[in-house]
Structure 1
Amino acid sequence: MDSVFQCQDLAEVREQIDRVDRSLVALIAERGIYVRQAAAFKHSREEVEGGKRVDQVMRRVERLAGELGADPALTAAVYRTMIEYFVADEMAAFRERAAGD
């Protein structure tokens, strides 16, 4: 971390946590938009499930966690949960698209 605000009291800590939470939620929403865009380019169930890609993402975020000082186990757990959700969402969109063909 390059710059972290040095809080002087609990209220400041909570204010910074709230700021970070807002940023995290915004980034999750943005990631979801790109996942939905990616779904439009996938033509099979295997592509949607993306085993190879999931492995690549997990290796990358675990490495990033180490570089940025985040807990690698927590980061991996968060990403596994997020990826499971997004894959399920993509799969539903894929099935819906396939049913319309």
Structure 2
Amino acid sequence: MTFKLSLSSVCAAAAIAGVALAAPAAHAGVQAKTKYPIVLVHGFIGFDNILGAVNYFYDVPGTLRNEGATVYVASVNPSQTTEFRGEELIQQMKQWAAKD
């Protein structure tokens, strides 16, 4: 598996996410299927959930998966430097790539 990130792929993923959230999720589809996986990463001081009730990415990962996308949700230290969190992300992406 290859992870490739470009401005066009980020814009495409954002557009797909918007379409997937706007459309009712009646059945599994292929509307969000992409060549490369989608990786969601929280920002500085991000969180997994609030009191177990509200997930950081709400139901975006599930909605995208239901529409055919391969989605990974990264877990990086929310209060470390950008460089540190980037290194954590690289390690997770290597693990995901090794699985496929």
Shorter chain as normaliser: what TM range? Answer: under 0.3
TM-score by length of 1: 0.26
Is the strand fraction higher in 1 or 2? 2
